[in-house]
Amino acid sequence: MNKRIEKMIKEYGDERDFFGAASDEAISKAEIALDVKFPAQYLEYVKKYGGGGIGGNEITGVKDEGYASVLEATESWRKLGLPDKLFVVWGVDEYAYCMFSADANDEKVYTWSPDGDGLIFKSETFDAFIIDSFENTIANWV
């Protein structure tokens, strides 16, 4: 896990803002339900934190009690046309931040909206996306 992300979570996060570590079994169930394999950096985040974020950044994830916000969010966005090999890491009003399944060999984060703009590049990696999102939140919050 990226040390910068861990430091921000430790300094600015609250335990209640995260689901808590997700089990391999719960993660596997979410991947099967979505027909995706989570990329390495997203998988690390979910294994350690489950899901959640700092200051309202609600990164999707998996909770061991049978709830997976990544599943709920992705299914909702797929009803609006999100392509099948993408999953949602954060839904924000009229667009979603999403990633491809790991088998696509694309670790980038994109935005997608149902208005027809298609995928728009946001960040090179999930970690870079999280760092940018958390830093922006912290800068506007503190």
CA–CA distance, 88 with 86 (Å, rounded to integer): 7
The per-residue pLDDT for 14 is: 81
**Angle at which helices 3-12 and 126-141 cross, to 10°:** 30
17 C-beta neighbours (distance < 10 Å), count? 17
15: confidence class by pLDDT, cuts 50, 70, 90? confident
Asked if residues 84 and 35 have their Cβ atoms less than 8 Å apart, the reply is yes
The per-residue pLDDT for 140 is: 85
What pTM, to 2 d.p., does this model score? 0.93
Q: Looking at the DSSP assignment, which residues form a beta bridge with residue 120?
A: 111
The per-residue pLDDT for 142 is: 58
Q: Convert the pLDDT of each residue in 89-124 to its tens digit.
A: 999 888 999 999 999 999 999 999 998 778 999 999
Q: Convert the pLDDT of each residue in 71-97 to its tens digit.
A: 999 999 999 999 999 999 999 888 999
Asked if residues 133 and 2 have their Cβ atoms less than 8 Å apart, the reply is no
In a 3-state reduction of DSSP, which class is residue 96?
Answer: strand
- Is the predicted pLDDT of residue 18 greater than 70, yes or no? yes
What's the number of domains the chain is made of? 1
Q: Which domain holds residue 37?
A: 3-141
State the CATH number of the domain containing residue 93.
Answer: 3.40.1580.10
